Amino acid sequence: MVYVTRKAHFNASHRLHNPNKSDEWNQRVFGKCNNPNWHGHNYIIEVTVVGEPHPETGYVIDLGKLKSIIKEKVIDLCDHKNLNLEVSFLDGIIPSTENLCKAFFYELKDEIEHASDNNPKLYSVRLQETERNSAEYCPYLSV
């Protein structure tokens, strides 16, 4: 199997807040990330696809096609948006880096896996929130 990764970036704001908990609890648990006036990040998303190269093209997936899918399904919907308020597929999700990875994975999965007749599989979504913080969702790996 060959793993192919495409990187993209977007800027967005969010607030880590659990509406089922008190303001005091949210402030204690999330600290400055619970700012009621939001805060922002310059996110980097990495999408990894796995499969066998197609015999006619040598591609697991055409990187131009992968770029377009990421743009349509994530970047166009999230860039310069408030992730809590403006992105419908994130409704009801606390937009932590971990939860965003998962949501982005399932937003991308079907389109990527139908992008080529050699059956590429979405392997993982990694999201870098800051220079020092990132998360990766790989549902097919067992711990």
For domain 2-137, say whether CATH 3.30.479.10 is its number. yes
Among the listed residues 33, 46, 98, 111, the single catalytic one is 33
**What global pTM score does this model have?**
0.95
Q: For 44-89, what is each residue's pLDDT tens digit?
A: 999 999 999 999 999 999 999 999 999 999 999 999 999 999 999 9
Among the listed residues 9, 39, 80, 114, the single catalytic one is 80
Q: For 113-122, what is each residue's pLDDT tens digit?
A: 999 888 999 9
Joined tokens for residue 116: 């080529």
| Dist. CA 127–CA 44, nearest whole Å | 6
pLDDT band at 142 (very low <50, low <70, confident <90, very high): low
pLDDT for residue 97 = 98
pLDDT for residue 110 = 97
pLDDT for residue 140 = 86
**18: three-class secondary structure by DSSP:** coil
Return the number of other C-beta atoms located less than 10 Å from residue 121's C-beta: 15
Is 17 a known active-site residue?
A: no
Is 129 a known active-site residue?
A: yes
Domain boundaries, the chain: 2-137
Exposed, middle or buried by CB within 10 Å (0-12, 13-18, 19+), for 53?
Answer: middle
Is 131 a known active-site residue?
A: no
Q: β-strand 2-14 against 81-82: which pairing, if any?
A: parallel
State the average pLDDT over residues 93-111: 98
Q: For 18-45, what is each residue's pLDDT tens digit?
A: 999 999 999 999 999 999 999 999 999 9
